[in-house]
Each structure stands twice: as structure tokens, then as C-alpha cells.
């Protein structure tokens, strides 16, 4: 894992010494929006009109943040409108790469071998982390946005007028409830697994892992009375939760020491995750070779040998 400093790549891990052993995630740098008519969105500048073939999505099949965008991309039927490049699961001294491997889709837009070259194609002097997902504008030759929570909302609505599949996963009448759920789940669970896993002091680890399981307990209880997080309607809140749940027993329990309980120990969360996994198009976005290979082989400060465990046996196809 590294970052760019004034356009120059540096192989540098997160600095937890200055934060009391805590992992602190930086905000995404690119915050423009694709909109139906090209008008400015909630942040950034305008000029990014929804058009078939204009945009490109860079993702990792290992990354839960990128996974959100792949799911929304599939649900909205945007495969013919927005093409996709997929990085290799292994992220070492050069960061994300397009080294050939099963599931990797090369960068045919910028011809990058390293993902950081996509960032410097947009800004030769870029300083910051090199992350996925990235929504790229082929017409203007730049990054539109690299914040997953915003990209899924663009994919949800911006392309509806030009042939996207019907479906609104951020309905107006549920937005307040969705936003409140997203806030808690992001802080304590989606990002909470990283705060636990990347902690470098016992205190920082315990500070992260206890609220994480409080949230899982809260969600288990909530789903005892609801099919999905807001009721009978499937929304972006469910997508955002699913991409963490599907990785939890496979990597977060062992690799990130989130081992008080497994998702398999929560009947309602397990039912919820299985149901989403079996929705049309969702299973195809889940790749455990990339998921397990990335975490166990890339994070050498946590797993120096790079050995990928054989288990656990997961039951997403179970009834």
C-alpha cells in the first residue's frame, strides 16, 4: 500500500504512530457527480452528463467499497453503458496493478499497468492515496469521483433516462432512515473492520472491535423484524452492509481479529446475506479468490507469510 506525493509513487503504509495506534481513513479527493443533464451535483463542478459509453469504472473484486459500485452497476443493467477494468488482488510495493491473473480486466482506456498511473493521468501532481473505485470520464480525460457512496447514487439515478434498468435504491421517502443506518454501519462496521484490523495498539483495537459487535447485534435484532434494513424494500443501505458481511467470516474474523462472533452465528444476518447473494447478478460480483488473496497476501504487516487459509466453508448458496 502506498500513495502519490506530487505525482511520485511512494511505498508507504498507514501512519498509525501519530494517531495512537488508530487507523484513520482519509476522505476521497474527487467529488464531482455525473447527473442526467450535466448540472452540478451535491459537490464538485458540473459538466458530467450521463451518456452511454462516456464513463469507465475501475474496481477491485477484493475491495468492499468498489464492490458496492459493481453491485449497483449490475442491478441497473449498466454493463453496456459503463465498461469496467479490474485490478489484480495483490497490492504490494506498487499498489494496485493490472498484472494478468484470473478475473483481471486490463486498463484499455489509459493503458495503465499500475493504478496510480490513472491518478496521474488525471493530475500529474496528485497527492494522496490511490484507491478504488474510480469513475473515469473518457471525454474529459479525468477522474469524476472516487468516493463509492457517491458513485452508487450516480449509478442509481443518473442513467435512468437513457436506458438503465428501473429501480430506485435511494427512495426519497426512506432517505432519512437510510442515511442514519449508513452513518452507523459505515463508522462501526464497514470501516470498523479496518479500524480493528489496522490498529497497532491494544487500546485502538478494543476501541474499534467492541462497537463493531454492538452494531452487528443491533442489526441482528433489527432484521428479526424486517426482511431488509428499512423493511420490505431493498435499498442502498442493504448493499453497503452486504459487501462487509460477505467478507466477514472469510477474512475479517481471522485476518482482522474480529472474532467475538461470526456472521454464521447470527441467523438473521446470515439469512439476509444469503438472500442478497442469490439475487440475479449479485453472485457474479463476489470473487473469493480475489477477496481472500488480497487481504492475506497483501497485508504483510498483519500476515507476513502471505499464506491464504483454506477455509472457512461458507454457506451463501444454502437455502
Binding-site positions for glutathione read 96, 129-132, 147-148
- Supply 91's cell numbers: 497490492
CA angle 225, 230, 234 (to 5 degrees): 110
CB atoms within 10 A of CB 76: 24
Distance, in Å, from the CA atom of 256 to the CA atom of 260, rounded to the nearest integer, reads: 11
Across the strands, what pairs with 136? Answer: 56, 143
Q: How far is CA 207 from CA 181, 196, 226, in A?
A: 20, 8, 29
Cell numbers for 306: 502471505
CA 18 to chain centre: 26
Catalytic residues: 63, 194
Is residue 148 within a helix (H) or strand (E), and if so which, with residue range?
A: helix 148-157
Amino acid at each position: 500500500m502506498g500513495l502519490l506525493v506530487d505525482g511520485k509513487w511512494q511505498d508507504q503504509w498507514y501512519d498509525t504512530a501519530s494517531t495512537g495506534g488508530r487507523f484513520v481513513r482519509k476522505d476521497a479527493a474527487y467529488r464531482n457527480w455525473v447527473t442526467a443533464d450535466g448540472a452540478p451535483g451535491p459537490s464538485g463542478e458540473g459538466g458530467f452528463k450521463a451518456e452511454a459509453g462516456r464513463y469507465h469504472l475501475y474496481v477491485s473484486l477484493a475491495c468492499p467499497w468498489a464492490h458496492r459500485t459493481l453491485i449497483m452497476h449490475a442491478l441497473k443493467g449498466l454493463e453496456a453503458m459503463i465498461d469496467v477494468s479490474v485490478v489484480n488482488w495483490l497490492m504490494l510495493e506498487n499498489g494496485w496493478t493490472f498484472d494478468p491473473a484470473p478475473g483481471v480486466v486490463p486498463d484499455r482506456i489509459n493503458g495503465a499497468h499500475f493504478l496510480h498511473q490513472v491518478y496521474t493521468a488525471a493530475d500529474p501532481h496528485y497527492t494522496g492515496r490511490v484507491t478504488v473505485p474510480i469513475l473515469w470520464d473518457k471525454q474529459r480525460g479525468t477522474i469524476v469521483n472516487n468516493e463509492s457512496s457517491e458513485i452508487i447514487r450516480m449509478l442509481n439515478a443518473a442513467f435512468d433516462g437513457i436506458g438503465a434498468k428501473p429501480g430506485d435504491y435511494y427512495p426519497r421517502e426512506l432517505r432519512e432512515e437510510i442515511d442514519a443506518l449508513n452513518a452507523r454501519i459505515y463508522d462501526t462496521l464497514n470501516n470498523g473492520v479496518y479500524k480493528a484490523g489496522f490498529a497497532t495498539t491494544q487500546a485502538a483495537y478494543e476501541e474499534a472491535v467492541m462497537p463493531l459487535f454492538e452494531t452487528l447485534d443491533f442489526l441482528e435484532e433489527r432484521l428479526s423484524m424486517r426482511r431488509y434494513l428499512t423493511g420490505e424494500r431493498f435499498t442502498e443501505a442493504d448493499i453497503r452492509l452486504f459487501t462487509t458481511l460477505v467478507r466477514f467470516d472469510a477474512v475479517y474474523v481471522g485476518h482482522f481479529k474480529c472474532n467475538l462472533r461470526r456472521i454464521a452465528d447470527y441467523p438473521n444476518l446470515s439469512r439476509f446475506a444469503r438472500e442478497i447473494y442469490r439475487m440475479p447478478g449479485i453472485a457474479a460480483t463476489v470473487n473469493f479468490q480475489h477477496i481472500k488473496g488480497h487481504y492475506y497476501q497483501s497485508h504483510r504487516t498483519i500476515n507476513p507469510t502471505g499464506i491464504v487459509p483454506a477455509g472457512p466453508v461458507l454457506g451463501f448458496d444454502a437455502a
